[in-house]
Amino acid sequence: MRLIFKSVLAACALTACSWLAAQQPVRGGTLTVALPTEPAHLNSAIDTTQQVKIVAGKIYSGLIKYDLKMNMRPDLAESWSVAPDGRTITFKLRKGVKWHDGRDFTSADVAFSIMKGFGTNNGLVRTTFANVETVQTPDAHTAVLVMRQPAAALMSALPVATATILPAHLYDNTDIRRNPANTRPVGTGPFMFSEWRRGDSIVLVRNPNYYEAGKPHLDRMVFKVIPDTQSRGAAVESGAVDMVFHSTVAASDARRLAGLKNLELTTDGLAAWPRRRFTTV
């Protein structure tokens, strides 16, 4: 289970301490997250290492997502249905979703991503999606997965972390591992790529056209590269960063930091923020 430290004082600075009285998340601010390792690129369809997924998961989307109780929720797919024989899954896709470059998201992107993107390049789910014989696209907002045999594990593999939907118009008929979009990603997620300061930080900005009305609440996310374990602990303690993953902090620091009044240790990740009425992603 992943544990995350969040700086209450930093959140206070972002929201002018309005979380003390507010009943709704407050718009604006920058969330700074510590990265233990600088990623080589930001294409989580072909690389599932933590440093890639932490950043890319805010840029891209999957067909579905899970809440904290592991219930499946719509993401790029508004709904889905499984045929009685279990060999066909039909996804009805959201209409009006735009890639960050302004192009329309369509079923062609889903077909490409499964057949030529994460389906063949992602080691975590390659075996699962090898069972997909084809992806039919009867219209721009319908994708039908046709499988050789029923695959119970397939639905659980569809969130963005393991099944990143890529823009076919940028990746099809290219070398996916050398595509320049890997370092200047174009997604459909809540944040858009803005800047990569090599050796220092990656900056994302709010996607004004995100399909969830009013979200994200933050204006920016900054992923600060801090390779040294002790320095990451010191950064969250001082407020230089607002969030750090427990697994990237020394055990001795984790125990000490958990006892500080200005920090909170949570197993809920970013999903904990709206419940606690902080600025949310």
CB-side neighbour CA atoms (13 Å) of 61: 29
Smallest Cα–Cα separation from 235: which of 257, 267, 251, 205? Answer: 257
Which of 111, 141, 171 is the endpoint of a domain? 171
pLDDT of residue 13: 30
What are the backbone angles phi and psi of residue 241, rounded to the nearest 5°? -125, 155
Q: Share the mean pLDDT of the chain.
A: 84
User: Which positions of the chain have pLDDT values less than 70?
Assistant: 1-24, 245-252, 261-262, 264-281
CA 97-26-65 angle, 5° bins: 40
Distance CA 83, CA 61 (A): 25
* 165 and 211 belong to one structural domain: no
Decide if 52 is inside a domain: no
Helix and strand numbers (H, E) in the chain are 9, 13
Task: Tell me how many domains the chain contains.
Answer: 2
**DSSP conformational letter for 156:** G
Does 28 share its domain with 76?
Answer: no
Q: Residue 3 has what pLDDT?
A: 41
At 44 the pLDDT is: 94
pLDDT at residue 59, as a whole number? 98
Structure tokens at 73: 């929720």
List the domain range (segments joined by +) for residue 87: 64-171
Residues pairing with 35 in the sheet:
225
Q: What is the DSSP letter of 271?
A: G
Residues with Cβ within 8 Å of 213's Cβ and at least 6 positions away in sequence, in order, are: none
Q: Where would I find the H helices in the chain?
A: 8-15, 50-59, 107-112, 118-121, 126-129, 168-171, 229-238, 251-258, 272-275
Q: Which residues are registered as beta bridge partners of 196? A: 202
Q: Are 279 and 28 in contact (CB under 8 A)?
A: yes
- The predicted-structure confidence for 208-236, as pLDDT tens digits, reads as follows 999 999 999 999 999 999 998 888 888 88
Which CATH number is 271's domain given?
Answer: 3.40.190.10
C-alpha span between 224 and 51 (Å, rounded): 11
In a domain, 78, yes or no: yes
Greatest Cα pair distance, the chain, in angstroms, is 57
Clarify whether residues 196 and 144 are in a common domain. Answer: no
